[in-house]
Amino acid sequence: MVLPVYVYGSGVLKKEAAPVTKDYPALSQLIADMWDTLYNAGGVGLAAPQVGHIIRLVVIDASAFKDDDPAANGFKRVFINPEILEWSEEKSSFNEGCLSIPGIHEDVVRPKRVRIRYLDENFQTQDEWLEGVPARIAQHEYDHIEGILFTERLAPIRRKIIAGKLQNIARGKSGAGYKTKIV
């Protein structure tokens, strides 16, 4: 089931999310709904707070970038309680967007590679180094469960330039082609 995406201005996007427990109500249904919501909106990553559940759960499907980055080919993961354990010193810049901030795309600098430990959808511990587009999306989504939006990582001048657009989204004029919500 496609869920509405909470957009910029919603308090749920600004909270540090709680760890997921195995007995979280209807967890597998929530994960299925997050996939539906992600694909319906044409996104590559979605964090549970973006659909109103303030828990440390993320889904990523980077395959849309497979022509630009071989690491993205077939990269589809559910991350439960992810932790970023190591970062490369090397950084890269990438034009990011966010389903919660429709219509805004800005270059963001982040570490090129990260080591991430998480539970998969079967609650099995996984530990892997990510690079390229998957590393980029994982860091963006990890920020979501910490209550951080990518616009907060921009230089003050860029934030000033997009301030009006952000205000419009917060006022309900998001113009997104999918169902959105502000709370």
Encoding tokens for residue 57?
């759960």
- The secondary structure of 39-58, three-state, reads HHHCCCEEEHHHHCCCECEE
- Closest to Ni ion by CB, 3 vs 98, is 98
CB of 80 to Ni ion, least distance (A): 18
CB of 53 to Ni ion, least distance (A): 15
Interacting residues with Ni ion between 69 and 128 (CB under 5 A):
98
Q: Give the C-alpha separation, 125 to 151, whole Å.
A: 31
Q: Is 89 known to be catalytic?
A: no
Q: What is the CA radius of gyration of the chain?
A: 16
Strand pairing class (180-181; 125-131): unpaired
CB of 115 to Ni ion, least distance (A): 21
Residue with smallest beta-carbon separation from Ni ion: 98
13 touches Ni ion (CB under 5 A): no
Q: Which residues bind Ni ion (CB under 5 A)?
A: 98
Active-site residues, by number, are 141
